[in-house]
């Protein structure tokens, strides 16, 4: 099996973006673990989604490999039957097809020539054997200005290109006929070919396994993928590194339509690694947890809107009482509203022929506004349990977050809402329900909030590190909304994740981020309270007026 | 159409908005019937909204039309802290007491100019409603601070630009504001026309301009996913200008396109690789 679950592919996300943007192809990228000293990439098109297996290599070679495979995906045809083609003819056809798709790719993206050219170094000094002639031919077809000097190579080039430098072998049928003819040439030249020892050259080209349809009447191919279960590569996720433990979900959570499998099938937007504190060895394990940002599901947010409206009116009245709902009393050099006291002082100063104050306007906002606030919702399976009013706790959490966000953004704060759940250290899912520039009551934000599902476990430390690593404004603060202690199915030491959370909070403090916690339940567990800084873990026994509780937690009341 | 007012046209009395007149014709390549559409709205005094992604030519278009119609153009770049005072004016305090100073909108209303509110959606909602009485048959601007009711000069026109962004993530205009405008939709020109624009504006040859456009098209496929928006025509022109100054095409593209587009390290790697693939 070439794809190793533990092997990682450096620059996987960047490579995926590159292929998607320039080629409009999105093969799954997988690391190829192999002992072969001259490994080649393997492109599989057997499943519902192509899979490109890439051996470990320098970034340039990996990119050259990916670009070549993309050229096959974009300009290649369907697999062909091998029948009646001898090994020499097959490998000739592969060489011609490689040259054809690369020629087309370079017409569209002329910079690719510089990417692939350094790998084409074969010339007459490589010898006269068939293997050497093939590599020399690849060079001659890649670079029309390269003069190899061999008569047979010159003949192939005349077949391949028109006199005007265009492609002459531009259909699968013509390629196949040319390969048959050229194979006969090689036979007459009495050249020997050992298919078992052959490696496609140059090194960036894949093994061309994908060019051929499977044919049970023929002897098995030397290619490893031929023996592989095609479905094992069908349509998986973009993350080729993680183990895949079965996800957990609770029954009767009120959201049975989504299902656990559907949740993890969401396309990951990006994957990041974070450390985790191991209390037993008293060390941080680097790159231990994988946080997967995924696109939230969306659902009809109209019911959510109806429930939010009265609570928002209530909250707004309370907010006016608490904050006066007017510009602050501070003074500024510029502003909209003149500051009465400052004007009186200025008038007095002018009459007294002294210098009037420079700050004549009221500060536009209350002091302390403009903070970067992130509400981090625990969307683990337990939040699917009903709370006192019979609805799932998650309903109360999402409503409270939206309400608080609405009030806070009116005060001038930058507010985001994320949700997280985990499924072992390999999959800590984070979803952005509200970005910093969106209004809390936008249709899309409500749809995302309504689409949130209870699922998985509560690996708070990893989610918190991810939140702290991505501030968007000044004096950042994170509020974790949770119903329980940290927990995950691959951890059996009750203190392990609590100690990690404590460490994550310490790291956040060093990074200048305040971390608060609002626990919903009978009483916040002592371990949870101790993980946060003093006074920053509040508890609510029920979900009544949870929006106000969120605001109070952030305001330290 | 010949400009109605140009420098040296013989007028001796200085117009208060002379500094806002555009002296030389801004080059603009029409992509459709937007010039006729603008002229129709102008003829009827209708407010106009220009919708489209950043750097696709909205501002150049309004400059061209202001020149063509011979009207001064007062541009306000809207931002989230833009206050009512920033638009209509405010009392200033000096050694003799307070005095009123017109803001850019009031100046355009009082003396007759196109007031172009660039990215109106960025302005605060309470600021946006100020323009409402100017956008219907009243064409008035009440100045509460001075007690003045300003009737718009016949040459006053209101034009706003608005970038709807991707997937509705950006802020949106309120319906009560949106429905006061006629609107023109702008997009990036087709590849051939965009290459011609890049060639004209920067001086790079047609082949290189095509490669720049190919790169831009690749980045635009990432819009709304890895990038907020893809590379604009303006970015391509910047790259072309750097190339004309002697930078290698790839270096220029990295400076003008790849690096500014994203702060994400991995997206940056992908963009750099795209530059290498697209630019010979």
Render pLDDT for B205-241 as a digit per residue (tens, 0 to 9).
999 999 999 999 999 998 877 888 899 999 999 999 9
- Radius of gyration (C-alpha) of chain B in whole angstroms: 21
Domain count, chain B: 2
Task: Report yes or no: A20 at the B interface, CB cutoff 8 Å.
Answer: yes
Residue B230 near residue B243 (C-beta atoms within 8 A): no
Render pLDDT for A374-400 as a digit per residue (tens, 0 to 9).
999 999 988 988 888 888 999 999 999
- Residue A59 has, within 13 A of its CA and on its CB side, a CA count of 12
Task: Report yes or no: A349 at the B interface, CB cutoff 8 Å.
Answer: no
Domain boundary among A183, A214, A233: A233
- For B219, the closest of A21, A335, A435 (CB atoms) is A21
Does the structure show a pLDDT above 90 at A463?
A: yes
Same domain, B147 and B23: yes
Closest residue by Cα to residue A293 from A266, A261, A274, A260? A266
The SS3 call for residue B204 is coil
Render pLDDT for B254-275 as a digit per residue (tens, 0 to 9).
999 999 998 888 899 999 999 9
Q: Domain of B63: which CATH number?
A: 3.40.50.300
- For A437, the closest of B169, B250, B277 (CB atoms) is B169
Same domain, B30 and B113: yes
- What does the pLDDT read at residue B170? 43
Same domain, B30 and B168: yes
Same domain, A337 and A457: no
Does the structure show a pLDDT above 70 at B9?
A: no
Render pLDDT for A332-352 as a digit per residue (tens, 0 to 9).
787 777 787 888 888 888 888
Same domain, A354 and A318: no
Distance CA B58, CA B179 (A): 20
User: Is residue A217 domain-resident?
Assistant: yes
State chain A's mean pLDDT as an integer: 81
Same domain, B258 and B124: no
Give the 3-state DSSP-derived string for A2-37, with helices as H, strands as E and coil as C.
CECCCCCCCCHHHHHHHHHHHHCCCCEEEEECCCCC
The stretch A482-496 carries a mean pLDDT of 87
B164 vs B138 pLDDT, higher one: B138
Same domain, A38 and A128: yes
| Residues of chain B with C-beta less than 8 angstroms from the C-beta of A110 | 211, 278-280
E strands present in A34-146: 42-44, 51-54
pLDDT band at A267 (very low <50, low <70, confident <90, very high): low
Same domain, A216 and A322: no
Same domain, B169 and B64: yes
Domain boundary among B131, B150, B185: B185
How many residue pairs bridge chain A and chain B with CB atoms within 8 Å of each other? 87
Same domain, B237 and B176: no
The stretch B37-66 carries a mean pLDDT of 93
Of A442-451, B58-67, B92-101, B167-176, the range with the highest mean pLDDT is B58-67
Cα–Cα distances in angstroms (integers) from residue B95 to residues A347, A358, B91, B98, in the given order: 10, 12, 13, 8
Q: Domain of A306: which CATH number?
A: 3.40.50.410
Same domain, B119 and B240: no
Q: How far is the alpha carbon of A410 from chain B, nearest alpha carbon, in Å?
A: 11
Instruction: Name which of B266, B272, B275 to mutate to probe chain A: the one with the most chain A Cβ atoms within 10 A of its Cβ.
Output: B266
Same domain, A355 and A435: no
Q: How far is the alpha carbon of A22 from chain B, nearest alpha carbon, in Å?
A: 5
- What does the pLDDT read at residue A555? 76
Same domain, B268 and B148: no
Residue A403 near residue A315 (C-beta atoms within 8 A): yes
- For A114, the closest of B225, B226, B276 (CB atoms) is B276
- Residue B155 Cα to chain centre, angstroms: 20
Same domain, A210 and A316: no
Range with the lowest mean pLDDT among A259-268, A294-303, A315-324, B107-116? Answer: A259-268
- For A113, the closest of B85, B219, B280 (CB atoms) is B280
Distance CA B266, CA A13 (A): 7
| Residues of chain B with C-beta less than 8 angstroms from the C-beta of A109 | 214, 277-278
- What does the pLDDT read at residue B37? 95
Distance CA A451, CA A438 (A): 17
How many residues are present in chain A?
A: 557
Of A177-181, B51-55, B155-159, the range with the highest mean pLDDT is B155-159
The SS3 call for residue B60 is helix
User: Is residue B10 domain-resident?
Assistant: no
Render pLDDT for A205-239 as a digit per residue (tens, 0 to 9).
999 988 988 765 554 444 443 333 333 333 333 33
Q: Is A282 left (phi over 0), alpha (psi -120 to 50) or beta?
A: left
Same domain, B95 and B170: yes
Residue B52 near residue B185 (C-beta atoms within 8 A): yes
Domain boundary among A233, A259, A290: A233
Task: Report yes or no: A356 at the B interface, CB cutoff 8 Å.
Answer: yes
Same domain, A377 and A306: yes
Q: Which of residues 62-101 of A touch B (CB under 8 A)?
A: 63, 67
Render pLDDT for A353-371 as a digit per residue (tens, 0 to 9).
888 888 888 776 554 567 8
User: Is residue A396 domain-resident?
Assistant: yes
The SS3 call for residue B123 is coil
- Domain span at B231: 191-278
Domain count, chain A: 3
According to DSSP, the β-strands at A474-482 and B89-94 are: unpaired
Same domain, B75 and B173: yes
Does the structure show a pLDDT above 70 at B132?
A: yes
User: Is residue A281 domain-resident?
Assistant: no
Same domain, A77 and A154: yes
Question: By CA distance, what is A272's nearest residue in B?
Answer: B266
Partners of A161 in beta bridges = A167
Q: How far is the alpha carbon of A471 from chain B, nearest alpha carbon, in Å?
A: 13
pLDDT band at A319 (very low <50, low <70, confident <90, very high): low
- Domain span at A142: 12-233
Same domain, A312 and A419: yes
Task: Report yes or no: A344 at the B interface, CB cutoff 8 Å.
Answer: no
User: Is residue A550 domain-resident?
Assistant: yes
Task: Report yes or no: A108 at the B interface, CB cutoff 8 Å.
Answer: yes
User: Is residue A63 domain-resident?
Assistant: yes
- What does the pLDDT read at residue A306? 82
User: Is residue B124 domain-resident?
Assistant: yes
- For B267, the closest of A17, A67, A346 (CB atoms) is A17
User: Is residue A543 domain-resident?
Assistant: yes
User: Is residue B127 domain-resident?
Assistant: yes
Same domain, A347 and A464: no
User: Is residue B208 domain-resident?
Assistant: yes
Same domain, A314 and A342: no
Q: Do A442 and B168 count as a contact with CB atoms less than 8 A apart?
A: yes
Of A3-7, A82-86, A94-98, A198-202, the range with the highest mean pLDDT is A94-98
Same domain, A186 and A61: yes
Residue B154 near residue B148 (C-beta atoms within 8 A): no
Say if residue B35 is exposed, middle or buried (CB neighbours under 10 Å; 0-12, 13-18, 19+). middle
Q: Which of residues 21-50 of A touch B (CB under 8 A)?
A: 21-22, 24
The stretch A144-152 carries a mean pLDDT of 90
Render pLDDT for A391-430 as a digit per residue (tens, 0 to 9).
899 999 999 999 999 888 887 889 999 999 998 898 899 9
Same domain, B127 and B251: no
A175 vs A252 pLDDT, higher one: A175
User: Is residue A252 domain-resident?
Assistant: no
Same domain, B146 and B273: no
pLDDT band at A142 (very low <50, low <70, confident <90, very high): very high
Cα–Cα distances in angstroms (integers) from residue A107 to residues A111, A422, B63, B165, in the given order: 9, 46, 38, 32
User: Is residue B8 domain-resident?
Assistant: no
Does the structure show a pLDDT above 50 at A252?
A: no
Does the structure show a pLDDT above 80 at A191?
A: yes
Domain boundary among B185, B213, B238: B185
DSSP state of A388: T
Domain boundary among B162, B185, B208: B185
Say if residue A47 is exposed, middle or buried (CB neighbours under 10 Å; 0-12, 13-18, 19+). middle
């Amino acid at each position: 099996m070439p794809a190793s679950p533990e092997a990682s592919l450096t620059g996987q996300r960047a490579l995926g973006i590159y292929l998607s943007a320039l080629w409009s192809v999105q093969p799954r990228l997988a690391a190829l673990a192999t002992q072969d000293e001259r490994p080649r990439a393997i492109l599989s098109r057997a499943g519902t989604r192509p899979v490109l297996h890439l051996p470990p290599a320098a970034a340039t070679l990996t990119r050259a490999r990916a670009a070549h495979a993309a050229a096959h995906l974009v300009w290649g045809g369907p697999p062909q039957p091998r029948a009646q083609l001898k090994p020499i003819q097959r490998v000739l056809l592969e060489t011609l097809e490689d040259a054809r798709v690369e020629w087309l790719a370079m017409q569209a993206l002329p910079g690719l020539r510089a990417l692939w050219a350094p790998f084409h170094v074969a010339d007459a000094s490589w010898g006269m054997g068939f293997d050497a002639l093939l590599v020399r031919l690849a060079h001659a077809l890649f670079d029309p200005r390269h003069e190899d000097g061999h008569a047979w190579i010159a003949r192939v080039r005349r077949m391949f290109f028109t006199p005007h430098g265009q492609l002459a072998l531009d259909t699968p049928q013509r390629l196949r006929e040319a390969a048959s003819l050229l194979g006969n040439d090689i036979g007459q030249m009495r050249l020997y070919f050992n298919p078992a020892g052959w490696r496609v050259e140059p090194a960036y080209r894949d093994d061309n396994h994908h060019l051929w349809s499977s044919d049970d009447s023929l002897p098995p191919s030397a290619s490893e993928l031929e023996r592989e279960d095609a479905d094992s590569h069908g349509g998986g996720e973009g993350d080729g590194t993680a183990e895949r433990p079965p996800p957990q979900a609770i029954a009767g959570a009120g959201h049975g339509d989504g299902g656990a499998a559907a949740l993890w099938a969401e396309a990951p937007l990006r994957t990041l690694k974070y450390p985790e504190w191991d209390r037993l060895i008293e060390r941080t394990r680097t790159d231990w947890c994988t946080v997967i940002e995924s696109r939230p599901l969306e659902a009809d947010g109209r019911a959510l809107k109806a429930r939010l409206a009265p609570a928002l009116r209530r909250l707004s009245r309370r907010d006016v009482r608490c904050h006066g709902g007017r510009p602050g009393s501070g003074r500024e050099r510029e502003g909209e509203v003149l500051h009465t006291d400052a004007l009186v002082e200025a008038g007095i100063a002018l009459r007294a022929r002294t210098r009037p104050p420079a700050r004549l306007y009221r500060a536009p906002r209350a002091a302390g506004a403009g903070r970067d606030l992130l509400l981090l919702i625990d969307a683990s399976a337990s939040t699917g349990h009903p709370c006192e009013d019979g609805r799932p706790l998650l309903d109360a959490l999402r409503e409270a977050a939206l309400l608080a966000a609405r009030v806070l953004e009116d005060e001038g704060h930058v507010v985001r809402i994320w949700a997280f759940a985990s499924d072992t250290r390999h999959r800590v899912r984070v979803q952005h329900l509200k970005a910093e520039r969106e209004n809390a009551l936008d249709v899309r934000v409500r749809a995302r909030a309504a689409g949130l599902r209870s699922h998985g476990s509560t690996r708070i430390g990893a989610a918190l590190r991810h939140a702290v690593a991505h501030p968007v404004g000044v004096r950042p603060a994170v509020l974790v909304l949770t119903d329980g202690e940290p927990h995950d199915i691959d951890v059996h030491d009750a203190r392990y994740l609590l100690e990690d959370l404590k460490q994550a909070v310490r790291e956040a403090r060093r990074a200048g981020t305040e971390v608060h916690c609002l626990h919903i339940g009978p009483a916040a567990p002592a371990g949870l309270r101790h993980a946060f800084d003093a006074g920053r873990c509040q508890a609510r026994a029920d979900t009544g007026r949870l929006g106000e509780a969120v605001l109070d937690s952030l305001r330290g009341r | 159409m010949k400009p109605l007012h140009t420098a040296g046209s013989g007028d001796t009395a200085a117009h208060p908005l002379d500094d806002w007149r555009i002296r030389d014709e801004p080059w603009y390549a029409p992509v459709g019937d937007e010039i006729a559409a603008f002229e129709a709205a102008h003829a009827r005094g209708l407010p106009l909204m220009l919708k489209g992604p950043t750097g696709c030519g909205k501002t150049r278009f309004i400059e061209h039309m202001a020149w063509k119609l011979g009207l001064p153009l007062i541009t306000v770049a809207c931002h989230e802290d833009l206050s009512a005072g920033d638009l209509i004016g405010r009392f200033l305090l000096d050694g003799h007491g307070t005095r009123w100073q017109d803001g850019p909108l009031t100046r355009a209303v009082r003396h007759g100019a196109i007031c172009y509110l660039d990215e109106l959606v960025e302005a605060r909602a309470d600021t946006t409603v100020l323009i409402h009485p100017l956008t219907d048959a009243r064409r008035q601007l009440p100045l509460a601070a001075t007690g003045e009711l300003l009737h718009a000069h016949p040459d006053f026109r209101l034009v706003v630009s608005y970038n709807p962004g991707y997937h509705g993530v950006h802020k949106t205009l309120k319906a009560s504001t949106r429905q006061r405008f006629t609107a023109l939709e702008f997009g990036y020109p087709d590849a051939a026309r965009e290459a011609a624009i890049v060639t004209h504006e920067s001086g790079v040859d047609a082949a290189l301009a095509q490669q720049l456009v190919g790169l831009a098209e690749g980045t635009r496929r990432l819009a709304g996913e890895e990038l907020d928006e893809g590379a604009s025509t303006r970015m391509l022109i910047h790259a072309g200008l750097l190339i004309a100054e002697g930078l290698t095409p790839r270096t220029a593209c990295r400076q003008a396109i790849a690096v500014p587009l994203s702060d994400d390290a991995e997206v940056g790697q992908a963009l750099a690789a795209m530059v290498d693939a697209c630019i010979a």
